[in-house]
Structures are given as C-alpha cells and as structure tokens.
C-alpha cells in the first residue's frame, strides 16, 4: 500500500489528517518537511482478491522532505522503499513482485 493513508474526521482538513499520519506512521514531524499540498483527488472502485470491494475518494498529497530520517512504526509499516516517482511510473513491471495493492497503481 502507499504511505500515510489518512482519513480526515469531521471538522479536520486533509492537510491536518496527513500531518497526523506522517508522524504516526513514519515518525516524520512538521519540521522535517515543507510545502505540503494536495496535488490530485480521484475516486476508484476495485474488487480485491476475496477481501471485497474498495470504493473511495482519495486525495494525493506531496511535500518536500528536507530531513529524510524516518522512524517508522513497526505496527504500521512493514518496509520502506525509496524509488523516484518517474522510475516507478515508467517501469511498473520492476515492482510487480512487491504485490502492490490495486489502488496504489492508480
């Protein structure tokens, strides 16, 4: 799956929810990044194995990570892979063995 899957609660903005999840999942605090912003929003509907249906509206956010030191929560994050977006996008078959979830590929 992708990182920092935030679900804003009533009255919370997407940016606030994302800041929370960055710290909870990766141990990344606001002093480590700048320029956090929403870059896209999309809706998807996918059936996944025998687990059922995912049907969500998702926001895509981007920031500049000035300090790349991470302290991932082991209960949230099974592993970390740094990959340039362009390389991941242009060479998806290289990453197939990771068995990424279908919504990550969107």
Active site residues: 56
Q: Note the Cα 60 to chain centre separation in Å.
A: 8
Query: SS3 letters for the chain?
Result: CCCCCCCCCCCCCHHHHHHHHHHHHHCCCHHHEEEEEEEEEEEEEEEECCCEEEEEEEEEEEEEECCCCCCCCCCCCCCCCCCCHHHHHHCHHHHHHHCCCHHHHC
């Amino acid at each position: 799956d992708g990182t920092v899957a935030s679900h804003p609660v009533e009255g919370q903005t997407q940016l606030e929810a994302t800041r929370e999840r960055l710290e909870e999942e990766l141990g990344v605090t606001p002093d480590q990044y700048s320029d956090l912003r929403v870059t896209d929003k999309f809706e998807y509907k996918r059936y996944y194995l025998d687990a059922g249906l995912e049907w969500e509206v998702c926001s895509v956010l981007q920031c500049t990570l000035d300090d790349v030191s991470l302290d991932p929560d082991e209960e949230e994050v099974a592993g970390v892979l740094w990959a340039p977006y362009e390389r991941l996008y242009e060479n998806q078959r290289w990453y197939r063995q990771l068995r990424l979830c279908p919504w990550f590929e969107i």
